[in-house]
Amino acid sequence: MHSTPLGFDERLPLYQRLRDALLERISAGEWLPDQSIPTEQELSNRYNVAVGTVRKAVDALVGEGLLQRVQGRGTYVRRPDFGGSLFRFFRQVSASGEVRVPQSQILARSLETPPTAARQALGLGEEERCIRLERLRLLDGKPLFHEQIWLPHTRFAALLDVDPEDFGNLLYPFYEAHCEQRIASARETLTVETASAEVAAALGVDASSPVVVIERIARGYDRSPLEYRLSRGGAATFRYQVEIS
Amino acid sequence: MHSTPLGFDERLPLYQRLRDALLERISAGEWLPDQSIPTEQELSNRYNVAVGTVRKAVDALVGEGLLQRVQGRGTYVRRPDFGGSLFRFFRQVSASGEVRVPQSQILARSLETPPTAARQALGLGEEERCIRLERLRLLDGKPLFHEQIWLPHTRFAALLDVDPEDFGNLLYPFYEAHCEQRIASARETLTVETASAEVAAALGVDASSPVVVIERIARGYDRSPLEYRLSRGGAATFRYQVEIS
DNA sequence: CAGTGGTCTAGACCACTGT
DNA sequence: CAGTGGTCTAGACCACTGC
């Protein structure tokens, strides 16, 4: 039975180094989303640490939302759900309160030089090009928000071969299926502006009425930026809540 | 040496019941903010559980932000800082990035029947009255946001005896000093509206320009609502960021 | 130096899942 | 039933704090 040494910084506690080692293997795609990782017992043997230490390392990753324990079955790589996303807070006026995925309508797709904000967010060079998507998201036929999306051409070239009609309502499973790019986390930034004529028309609101802008930078498991997205929706339907302490 | 029994629900794990017991003592004011709680050893003896179990209970409360460990010194009741509050995201255009507390200016104070939203948020009866404060918060003399605050008269009567000039920039230490009411947590809800004439004048923005409204319900350690607050600031200076995964 | 929390181990028993 | 994670215990040693 081999025992894999935990390299990294010797000064860090064991469970931290183990956590890093596990994260490494998730990032590398060795364990894919929805798959189970080895038993605590196995990991304990493999890395030659006590089960309690394995538990603490796994606890850390569970806390970070990367793993998920299931009593009696095992520990799984969690497929990130973006339920906490700011998008969720556009009031989808359904009285029932159930979560409904809005429909998508691709308005445009092109290969072009990205604007500076997108280029910097994605960490691209001056010369690199992006696939740009423009889409409208609707609920019950009514426009909810308007999106512009930039993706590095190098990673997402395969998207150019797909008929825009065939893009699903959810893009991330789509990226995974066609481009083997898996989104693990994101940062969203909320601001407010007044609607431009174009956006007002797309959303069906008055020109120069307030609009909520959500800028999203989505990253892979190795934290490299994969997608830059700008979404705009009518401010009247937006309501966001936080707990603080 | 006595051992205090952990009542509560027998079905819950020990560390959960211990966590509840500790929370009880914090809520009751037995251990005040910035004070240290007993040693893990002491708690282990007192409640007749292993130190590891005490650690897990304390870990839970640390995770909830109620306790704070200090290596080599002890574990302390944390004074909640509202650094995560939405207020923080009104861009205080200081290039340096340091946190600056805006100045406060009390515009009005009165004893009155609260509006329905405030009454319901505070869980008051139809007949109960509130102390209402209106204040302006400024940075470098420029208005940042406008606030209306409702406090149950029964708990905060002492505030009526204080000269409005003597209200500090921070209200919560003030509540604690004069009314023995300690704020432990809060819920904030963000919406966007267009400025009324009054608000526009107070903030120095154009009438009907977009305004961010933050509604806050602040609670004590026993989670009973203590304060209802409505704050409004110009949307142009607002920028909020979240991490999701 | 004594006392605190931080790390790590080892092992017992329980509760739940799937077969 | 065997196998998984969940709880709980007991004790060793370390790192940091304050006197």
Read off the pLDDT of residues A157-175 as tens digits, 9 standing for 90 and up: 999 999 988 888 889 989 9
8 Å CB contact between B60 and B67: no
Give the mean pLDDT of B191-217: 94
B152-196 tens-digit pLDDT: 999 999 999 999 888 888 899 899 999 999 998 999 999 999 999
3-class secondary-structure state, position B190: strand
Give 3-state DSSP helix, strand, coil % of chain B, rounded to 5.
35, 30, 35
Cβ burial, residue B214 (10 Å; 0-12/13-18/19+): buried
CA of B80 to nearest chain A CA: how many angstroms apart? 5
Cα gap B128→B130, rounded to integer Å: 7
Across the interface, do B184 and A241 touch by the CB < 8 Å criterion?
no
Q: Lowest-confidence range among A6-15, A119-128, B202-211?
A: A6-15
Question: CB contact, 8 Å: A71 with chain B?
Answer: no
- Quick check: A94 pLDDT over 50? no
Residue B1 — very low, low, confident or very high, per pLDDT cuts 50/70/90? very low
DSSP assigned state of B195: P
Give residue B208's pLDDT band: very low, low, confident or very high (50, 70, 90).
confident
Q: What is the DSSP letter of B161?
A: G
CA of B88 to C1' of C3 (A): 39
* Cα→Cα distances A53→A19, A86, A187, B14, B59, Å: 10, 36, 31, 21, 16
Cα A2 to chain center, whole Å?
36
How distant is C1' of D11 from CA of B240, in Å? Answer: 48
* Chain A touched by B236 (CB under 8 Å): yes
Q: CA of B32 to nearest chain A CA: how many angstroms apart?
A: 16
The reply to whether A236 touches chain B by the CB within 8 Å rule is: yes
Contact B184/A at CB under 8 A? yes
Q: How far is the CA of A63 from the C1' of C18 (A)?
A: 27
Q: Which two tokens stand for residue B199?
A: 């608000």
Burial class of residue B99, CB neighbours in 10 A (0-12, 13-18, 19+): exposed
Residues 78-97 of chain B with CB under 8 A from chain A are: 80, 82, 84-86
